[in-house]
């Protein structure tokens, strides 16, 4: 079946690379729409959506951008224009996938547009930036980043091979048909390695009851991805067992999911069970990357690339207040489970993060701040990974979902 692929490019440097993509895609039997996001100079070939139209949609004229000669301003305008036009094309059902090539500027423009497209719609970015930290380009969407190896400037024997592979990839993606499966209510769950036994038991129990469970690793991007799917209306219920991302947001670790973590389910009005998984730890990279002000703290080498830092009594008190305040937003059945004997594998007697004082500060703050007229508080004399604790969370969520 013929598909239509959007090519987002900067054609003001002749655009030979984008013409190459267009011709290869069309040779595969697919249609193309070429959007020109370039500012300086005339395009090397006619586009379907002109740079003038992109600039106008972004809030300025192309002439103004050229006269102003402010690269940052131009990138903002063209990014906004490309984003709005891409959204309109998708809403109208006119595109089945997106591909682009670029350096830092072109990558920023194209991925800004790709980020608003739904998960599942193919998105491929061939970029000079793809071998580094691509978090800002990918965000929480399924954008495929492909390293260009050489600069995206003209064609040569190496770039032709890379661009041809890219076309093969995007065409292969749009040509795929997903085998229909039985529709099941979607449940999200959050997990860390130190809460895996609990989450696994809850997941398996939900699956036996006919639910499909999407498990998110609580690494910042995982929490943000989950919140985005909840906000988009895909999710029927939440087992937010591992709320550790709030430790990084509060203290300054590397796996924060941002200040809106724990908002989506309450705002969307879907039932959720929540616990305190891994609130004993803040995440950093390798041991030598831990900020100097934390060197005196209780640190644990999880592996060569991950160092964990135990949260303090004061930090736990604030974490309890934050989580209670977040959950108080709810308008639907919500339950908060407290595992009185530890919140992670390494928060147990004999383990490096065992700290009854810190845990009690967390629990006390929750009791003090949680509105129990809205949120059911369930305290259990268990560790978070005890089967009894997991079973209780499973049964409570199942009860909520079946009402």
Domain 4-175 matches domain 186-402 at the CATH topology level:
yes
CA–CA dist 185, 270 (Å, integer): 12
Which superfamily, per CATH, for 4-175? Uncharacterised protein family UPF0261, NN domain (3.40.50.12020)
Q: Tokens for 95, please give them.
A: 């595109």
Query: Is residue 190's pLDDT more than 80?
Result: yes
**Among the listed residues 118, 164, 114, 116, the one whose alpha carbon sits nearest the alpha carbon of residue 144:** 114
**Among the listed residues 195, 223, 226, 228, the one whose alpha carbon sits nearest the alpha carbon of residue 213:** 226
Task: Output the CA torsion 189→139→83→49 (10° steps).
Answer: -110
pLDDT interval class at 40 (50, 70, 90): confident
Which range in 32-46, 69-83, 311-325 is most confidently predicted, on average pLDDT?
A: 311-325
Which secondary-structure segment (H or E) carries 216? strand 212-217
Each residue of 45-82: pLDDT tens digit? 889 999 999 999 999 999 999 998 898 999 999 999 99
pLDDT of amino acid 196: 96
**Among the listed residues 272, 362, 361, the one whose alpha carbon sits nearest the alpha carbon of residue 323:** 362
Count of CA atoms in the C-beta half-sphere (13 A) of 359: 23
330-337 mean pLDDT: 95
Each residue of 216-241: pLDDT tens digit? 999 999 999 999 999 988 899 999 99
Where is pLDDT greater, at 155 or 227?
A: 227
Percent residues over pLDDT 70 in the chain: 99
pLDDT of amino acid 177: 85
pLDDT of amino acid 150: 86
Architecture of domain 186-402: 3-Layer(aba) Sandwich (3.40)
Look at 73-82, 150-159, 186-195, 274-283 and tell me which has the smallest mean pLDDT: 150-159
Look at 173-187, 269-283, 347-361 and tell me which has the smallest mean pLDDT: 173-187
Q: Residue 3: what are its φ and ψ, rounded to 5°?
A: -115, 165
CA–CA dist 298, 39 (Å, integer): 52
Contact between 286 and 305 (Cβ < 8 Å): yes
pTM: 0.78
pLDDT of amino acid 153: 77
pLDDT of amino acid 173: 96
Query: Is residue 166's pLDDT more than 90?
Result: yes
pLDDT of amino acid 402: 87
Query: Is residue 181's pLDDT more than 80?
Result: no
pLDDT of amino acid 13: 66
Query: Is residue 154's pLDDT more than 90?
Result: no
Instruction: Report domain extents, the chain.
Output: 4-175, 186-402
3-state DSSP helix/strand/coil percent for the chain, to nearest 5?
A: 45, 20, 40
133-154 mean pLDDT: 89
275-288 mean pLDDT: 96
Query: Is residue 12's pLDDT more than 80?
Result: no
CA–CA dist 121, 24 (Å, integer): 20
Query: Is residue 14's pLDDT more than 70?
Result: no
Burial class for 17, CB neighbours closer than 10 Å (0-12, 13-18, 19+): buried
Each residue of 361-378: pLDDT tens digit? 999 999 999 999 999 999
pLDDT of amino acid 383: 98
**Among the listed residues 194, 203, 190, 186, the one whose alpha carbon sits nearest the alpha carbon of residue 390:** 203
**Among the listed residues 232, 220, 233, 314, the one whose alpha carbon sits nearest the alpha carbon of residue 261:** 220
Percent residues over pLDDT 90 in the chain: 85
Sign of the Cα torsion 67, 68, 69, 74 reads: negative
Contact between 189 and 213 (Cβ < 8 Å): yes
């Amino acid at each position: 079946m013929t598909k239509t692929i959007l090519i987002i490019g900067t054609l003001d440097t002749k655009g030979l690379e984008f013409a190459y993509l267009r011709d290869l895609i069309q040779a595969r039997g697919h249609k193309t729409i070429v959007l020109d996001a370039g500012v300086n100079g005339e395009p090397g070939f006619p586009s379907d959506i002109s740079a003038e139209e992109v600039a106008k949609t972004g809030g300025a004229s192309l002439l103004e951008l050229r006269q102003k000669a402010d690269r940052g301003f131009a990138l903002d305008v063209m990014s906004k224009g490309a984003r709005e036009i891409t959204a309109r094309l998708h809403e109208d059902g006119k595109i089945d996938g997106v591909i682009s090539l670029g350096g830092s500027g072109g990558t920023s423009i194209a991925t800004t547009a790709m980020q608003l497209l739904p998960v599942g719609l193919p998105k491929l970015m061939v970029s000079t930036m793809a071998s580094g930290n691509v978090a800002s380009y990918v965000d929480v969407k399924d954008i495929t980043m492909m390293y260009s190896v050489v600069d995206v400037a003209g064609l040569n024997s190496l770039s032709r091979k890379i661009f041809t592979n890219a076309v093969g990839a995007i065409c292969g993606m749009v040509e795929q048909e997903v085998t229909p499966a039985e529709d099941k209510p979607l449940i999200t769950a959050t997990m860390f390695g130190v809460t895996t036994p609990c989450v696994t038991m809850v997941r398996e129990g939900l699956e036996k009851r006919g639910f499909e469970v999407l498990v998110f690793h609580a690494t910042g991007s995982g929490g943000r991805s989950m919140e985005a799917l909840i906000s988009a209306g895909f999710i029927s219920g939440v087992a937010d067992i591992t709320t550790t991302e709030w430790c990084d947001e509060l203290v300054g670790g590397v796996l924060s999911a941002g200040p809106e973590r724990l908002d989506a389910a309450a705002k969307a009005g879907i039932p959720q069970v929540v616990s305190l998984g891994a609130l004993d730890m803040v995440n950093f990279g390798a041991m030598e990357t831990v900020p100097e002000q934390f060197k005196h703290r209780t640190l644990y080498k999880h592996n060569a690339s991950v160092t964990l830092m135990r949260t303090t009594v004061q930090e736990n008190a604030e974490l309890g207040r934050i989580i209670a305040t977040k959950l108080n937003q709810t308008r639907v059945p919500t339950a908060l489970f407290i595992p009185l004997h530890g919140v992670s594998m390494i928060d147990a007697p004999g383990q490096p993060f065992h700290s009854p004082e810190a845990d009690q500060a967390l629990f006390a703050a929750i009791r003090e701040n949680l509105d129990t007229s809205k949120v059911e508080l369930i305290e259990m004399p268990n560790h978070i990974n005890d089967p009894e604790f997991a079973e209780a969370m499973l049964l409570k969520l199942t009860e909520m979902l079946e009402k």
